[in-house]
Structure 1
């Protein structure tokens, strides 16, 4: 995997004769040290139809300065990007190409823009000489290589980047000083964005919502499809919670297809929903292993040392390590598959030419509540059936089915929140409480199965199974508590008035 760092910076417009104001004394800045001058030469790569630029991604090959090589920048938040670095070579490194595969999907990465920058560097340091930030003045000449009107553009900008581990409040203080001196924030988030804009490119904008049911559902689908592609790179980088967030996006898409069949033609969405189910299943192996490992580790950590009999931690680590490696390999295989690429292409095709039904043209406030209440009725039947069953395996299965339905009701309500406002938000919150209790119950069921397996292996190895049995009993008690709390939570999740959330 390529080296990575978190880049937190601010950019400002400048003229060729603009001088960087004195920043000494700004929030622990004791001195501003001259860092010299560098000549930078960067070629930015993208697909011919600018898929990376449309997603605010930048991929470049740069020479000059102290970090020559390939750089991929992934947006995290306004002014914050993760920069991944790979050694200088002629072609796009495989490690970086894989991270944008969800965007490129086989399309070639070609030279797009060349930027040559004359950079004047100044380092902001504290009283001990430790770096706090770096302020640079760049005089840039950009040349469009492909995919536009050609020609060159020139500009000057000032960039202030926080040092690794620095306090973001420093950037706020520097910002105030620069604004007092008349500097204005840059209009573009990156040099590439400015170069593209100044040479005639305009990023695609999603259609504005028009108050219809179709407009609201499609806006939600676009958002989740975007999250799917965004978290693809995070999963490949093995970032915390990335698998979970990507899996949630697949579930939200699939749930919207099912809940809003009056809006979208199921003859088109059903096959796509099946592929999303496949992807969620592949991601689920990794995610379920992650959740179970965290749960069992926390349970073991909570026990007094006097109750940890035998090599409990070692056995748990061995189990977790083996399961994690297998799950991780399965996840990456799915993301590298042609089936996954075809799924992303199918999502794009649906969003480009949505299979809208007549109800899509009606007001969102008329169509969406009915769909949500229909899902709620399905949930009611499943909750009531589960509560009527005696404790045991059948009830556990029924509660798990109710949990999945509760999640679908909640997702349907969240789709409608921008259109329906607070009633949908309150309803989603109440259903989420039911879902959470059901989820805790199901996690306990899965944990008990694993604890039993660990106990059997411990016994076979001549170890005491006392600790595993103790944890099994605690999980059983937790599940019982969830079942006792469920009726009260469910009562609060029932709609207040007929036909209303």
Structure 2
């Protein structure tokens, strides 16, 4: 059964390009990018390589969301859940990297990071690598790509790509506006609402990157620039908030309780600063 929000802009016979036939050309580079990032992690699991793997998997998830109206609901949900789980596997190590980076700088001055936290990061990396290896990610990603491409190519209708792309971008933008209104109207600071804004903004940004060449670039250029600014601010808030939670769950790793308390207090102060910046930016949106 298809989603109720499927596109009804059925293309005339022979009209090109079609959304269905274009999917593989959009998805294949993303799959290749994700696999290249996995290979990089095996060779050198730097913070940047882990971050880029998560980005590649999130972009894949967003592309499958874009094509959701043309796909079977359950078949569409499975790849998106897979990409989320793989991103989470890489993210567990990335979270430790962010925590270490935040603790290493205090008022622009270097500070010592307890060896116990670096050891915890290496343990997380081993777990991430094991998860990605056991997932047989190459076959899994290629299978998802082949399965979705087959379903789209077998569909009895064809949808004009430009109209389909414009509809899906508008749907993502509506979702973003809704989350922005909810966050801006909150009576008190609501981190989850800001996190929802960040996720909705990413979806719009990725769709504009996918479909930009076939849309009116002037109409979306300002939106894309604003989204990048929003994502940077809200991303920094998300990083420090996740670090507070991670450190709170692992204070037992510190040999000195006072050191743990001082590190946690420092991160909470960083979080308050980021919260103020995020709220100011939100009110300007």
- Classify the TM-score, shorter chain: 0.7 to 0.9
TM-score, normalised with respect to structure 1:
0.48
Which residue of 123, 130, 139 maps to 1:326? 123
Which residue of 196, 214, 233 maps to 2:39? 233
Cα deviation, 1:131-161, whole Å, max 9, x if unaligned, reads: xxxxxxxxxxxxxxxxxxxxxxxxxxxxxxx
Structure with the larger RCO, 1 or 2 (CA within 8 Å, 6+ apart): 2
| Counterpart mapping for 1:400-479 below 5 A | 400-420=195-215, 422=217, 423-450=219-246, 461=257, 463=259, 465-466=261-262, 468-479=264-275
Cα distance change, pair 425–330 in 1 and its aligned pair in 2 (3 A): farther
Cα distance change, pair 289–358 in 1 and its aligned pair in 2 (3 A): same
Match of 1:18 in 2: none
Which residue of 78, 97, 112 maps to 1:313? 112
Structure 2 spans left out of the alignment, 5+ residues: 1-15
Which residue of 175, 178, 190 maps to 1:381? 178
Cα deviation, 1:386-420, whole Å, max 9, x if unaligned, reads: 2222335xx11121122112111111111111212
1:470 deviates by: 4.2
Cα distance change, pair 419–445 in 1 and its aligned pair in 2 (3 A): same
Match of 2:11 in 1: none
1:363 deviates by: 2.5
In 1: Cα distance, 2:170 partner to 2:154 partner: 20
Q: Which moved more, 1:360-369 or 1:282-291?
A: 360-369
SS in 1 for 2:106: helix
Match of 2:192 in 1: 397
Cα distance change, pair 462–233 in 1 and its aligned pair in 2 (3 A): closer
In 2: Cα distance, 1:466 partner to 1:335 partner: 35
SS in 2 for 1:227: helix
Cα distance change, pair 243–406 in 1 and its aligned pair in 2 (3 A): same
Match of 1:494 in 2: none
Structure 1 spans left out of the alignment, 5+ residues: 1-209, 306-311, 491-501
In 2: Cα distance, 1:264 partner to 1:389 partner: 36
Cα distance change, pair 284–470 in 1 and its aligned pair in 2 (3 A): closer
| Counterpart mapping for 1:235-254 below 5 A | 235-240=41-46, 241-254=48-61
Query: Contact between 2:103 and 2:113, CA under 8 Å: does it hold in 1?
Result: no
Cα deviation, 1:181-229, whole Å, max 9, x if unaligned, reads: xxxxxxxxxxxxxxxxxxxxxxxxxxxxx53223443322111011122
Cα distance change, pair 458–237 in 1 and its aligned pair in 2 (3 A): closer
Match of 1:50 in 2: none
Query: Contact between 2:61 and 2:84, CA under 8 Å: does it hold in 1?
Result: yes
Query: Contact between 1:296 and 1:447, CA under 8 Å: does it hold in 2?
Result: no
Match of 1:283 in 2: 90
| Counterpart mapping for 1:298-377 below 5 A | 299-300=105-106, 302-303=108-109, 313-315=112-114, 317-319=115-117, 321-338=118-135, 340-350=137-147, 353-356=150-153, 361-377=158-174
Structure with the larger strand share: 1
1:251 deviates by: 1.1
In 2: Cα distance, 1:397 partner to 1:227 partner: 30
Q: Which moved more, 1:428-437 or 1:279-288?
A: 428-437
Match of 2:3 in 1: none
Query: Contact between 2:99 and 2:240, CA under 8 Å: does it hold in 1?
Result: no
SS in 2 for 1:361: coil
Match of 1:270 in 2: 77
Query: Contact between 2:21 and 2:153, CA under 8 Å: does it hold in 1?
Result: no
| Counterpart mapping for 1:5-404 below 5 A | 210-240=16-46, 241-297=48-104, 299-300=105-106, 302-303=108-109, 313-315=112-114, 317-319=115-117, 321-338=118-135, 340-350=137-147, 353-356=150-153, 361-392=158-189, 395-404=190-199
